[in-house]
Structure 1
Amino acid sequence: MIRNKVLKFNYSGYFCTESEYKNSQSNETNLYPSIFQYFMSCKSVFNIIVILLLQSLVLIAAPSIDAGKASFKNNCASCHNKNMKDNLTGPALAGVEARWSAFPKTDLYSWIRNSQGLIAKGHPRAVELYNTNNKLVMTAFPAISDEEIESILLYIDCTAKGTCGPKDVAGAPGAANANASKGSGSNFWMYMVFAILAILAIFLWNIITDLNHTRNMVEGDTDSIRPNFWNILTNKSVITLYYLDWYYLVVIQQ
C-alpha cells in the first residue's frame, strides 16, 4: 500500500505524466527505479533534450572563420602567405575554390588532405598543380576533417577579400552592424549550450528530489513535502550555477 501510494504521488509531477511512468513499469519494479528508467518514462522531455544536444553539437562543429584562422595558422602558415595573395613556399591561396570549381568539392578536400594520393590517381587538376609548382610535395593532413577544411576555405576567402577582421573605419556605413552580427553569430552556440545545461540541471534536480522524497516517505516521514518547480528554480545551488554560467558567457567571453 505504501509503495503504490508513494509511486503515485512521486511520479505524477511536472516532467512526465503518471500514465507515462506507469506504462514503463511492471508490478515487480523495485521501489527505487534507475535513472535510465526514469528518463525513458519521460520520453517527451528526454527526446527534447537529445534534440537540443544534437543541435548544439552541430553548431559547435559548423565551419567558422575563427576556426579557419586557427587551423590555417597551425597547418598552412609555414608554407602559404598569410595575405593569401602572394606566393611563399607554396602558391597564393586566394581564389582556390574558383580554381577547383570544375570538380566536386570533395576533390578539393582530398587535395588538401593528401595531395600525393590524388596525384597518384591521375586527377587532372592535382597533376597540373603539382607540375606547375615544381613538383613540391604538399604536407599531408590525413586527420583533418571536412569541417576544418571548410573553415580554412572561409578564412582564405575573407582574408583575400579583406572582410575577415574589424578593419572597417569607425563610423563607416554598416561597420557596426557587421561586427555585431559576427559577434552574435560566434556566441550563439554558447547560449544554446547554456540553455541545454539549464534544462538538464532542472531535470536532474527533479530526479534527486523525487528519490529523496520517496526515501523519506518509506522511512515514515509523513510530513515530507516534495519541492515544487518554483522551489527548484529558486534553490541557492541552482541560482549559483545560473550566475556562474551567465558570468562566463556574458562577461568573460565578451
Structure 2
Amino acid sequence: MTYFTKTYRYLLLIFCLFLGAGSTFAQQEQADDLTAESVAEGDPAATAAADATPIPDAATAAVSPGEGDADLGAALWKANICGSCHAASMKDNMTGPALGGVQERWAGEPREHLYEWIQNSQKLIGSGKSARAIAVWNEWKPTVMSSYTNLSNDDVEHLLAYINAVYTGTYGPKGITVGPAVAENQESADNTWLFVILGGALVLLSLILARVTSNLQYMVETAEGTTPGTRRTLAQILTSRGMIAFVIFVVVVLGGYTTVNHAIDLGRQQDYQPEQPIKFSHEVHAGIHKIECQYCHDGARRSKHSVIPAVNTCMNCHRAINYGSQYGTAEITKIFAAIGWDPTEGAYIENYDQMTNEQAEKIYSKWIADKYISEGGDIDEVENVVEEQWEGIYAALTNEYTSDERVPGPIEWTRIHNLPDHAYFNHAQHVTVGKLKCQNCHGPVEEMEVVYQYSPLSMGWCINCHRETQVQFEDNDYYNSYQRYHEELKEGARDGVTVEDIGGLNCQRCHY
C-alpha cells in the first residue's frame, strides 16, 4: 500500500472519528458542566448523580407530586410495556383497570402508598396499611400486577404525568391517516436502477481515484529524485490488496442483507398454489353457483378454525349432482369412492370401510363406464377412460408417504394457509364479531379456479389491518361495553373506532 493511499484512508477514518467523538465530547462536556453547577448549589440529587452512572439530566432532580414530565413518562410506559395490561386510552378497562384519574382515587392516602403500589403492589397489600390497595385487590384478584422495583419515586411521578396527560387529552398519539395518504404510502417507487447507476458511478470514480493516486505517487518520487516505481496498470489496481478487501467487504454486506431478507420471508407462502387431490373449482362453486363460503367452511362463524368440509358436506349436493360440468365423472367419483356412495344404486355401500381396493374398483369402474356411454362417449374408448379415471382415484385417495394404500377413507387435502404455532387467530372473532368478509384475508376466492394464498399473513400485514380497519359498532352487542366510544360516535366526536383503539395492537392478543 502506497504512502498516499495510506494517508488518504487514515485521514478519512480520523475525520469520521473526529465528527462522532466531537459530538459526544461536546454533549458530555455540557452535561458535566450542568452537573457540576448543580453540585455546587447543593442539590442532593445532583450530588448523588455525580458519583453514580450518568443519567439524563431531567431525572436527576427530585420531582414534586404532580410535577412529572409526560415525555419521560411516555418513555417509561413503553420501556416497561405497561400497555400490555392497561389500555392506551387510559379510559377503558383491559387486563388491568383504566388508569385515568388514578391520582384522584389515591388522594385519600399518603403519596408514598401510590409509589409503593406501582413498585410492588403485593408487598403493600400484605402490609395492611393501605385500604385503597386492599380494595383494588379485592376488585381485580386474582390478577396480580407486575412489580416494578426498578422505578424510583421520580419515575412514578413521570408515569403519572403521562397517564394524566393522555387521559385529559393534552398528550397522545397522532391520529390514523386515512384516505389518499394511505394509498400514496402503499405505492412505493422502485429505485433499483437508480442504485445500480449510483453504484456503477462510485466504482468508476474509485478506479479513477486509484489511477490518479498512482500517477501522483510517480510524480512525487520523480520530483524528489528517487527512482520512481513502475506505474500500476488497471489490472494491478483491480487485483491490489485494497481492492480485494473492498470486494470481500461488499460480498459480506450483500450476503448478510440477502440472508436477513430470506430469513424474514421464512415460512411465508404468499401465492402458494398447490395441486389438490380433487380438482375442486371455487370459481364454479362460489362464483357461478353462489354457494356461501360458510356453507362449506361452517366453523368460521363459530370456532377458531374455519375447518375443511367433510365429505358429508359435499354429498349434500352431489348425491343429486353426479356428473361434473368440466370433468364429467373423473373428479366427482373421487368423492363417492372416499365415502362409499354407490351412484348407480343411489345409496351408501354397507361395510364399505372393510372393502378392498379391488372390490371398490369394480363398483366405480362399472359406474364410470355406464355413465360414459350414457353421455354419448365412444364405446371403443370405454376401457381407456375407466382405467385412466381409476388411476386418478387411486392416486388422489392414497398416500405413499404415509403408507396409506386404501381408497376408502378421508380425502387428504393440501393445506394452503398456515400461521406460525405461536400466533393465535380466531375465525369466529373476525367473521361473527368483526363482521369481516372472507375475501378480506383470502382474496377473491370466487374467481379462483385453483385456490392460492392471496395475502402475506405476516405480522406487519395483520398490524396494519388492525390500525386501519374500523370496527362495526352499530347493532353489534359485542361492543356494548365500550360506552364512551358509542357516545363519541353519536356526538360526532369521532368518525369511527379502529381495532387499535380497542387494544388490537397489544401483544397478548395474538401471543400469550
The structure having more radius of gyration, on CA atoms, is 2
Normalised by the length of structure 2, the TM-score is 0.22
More helix by share: 1
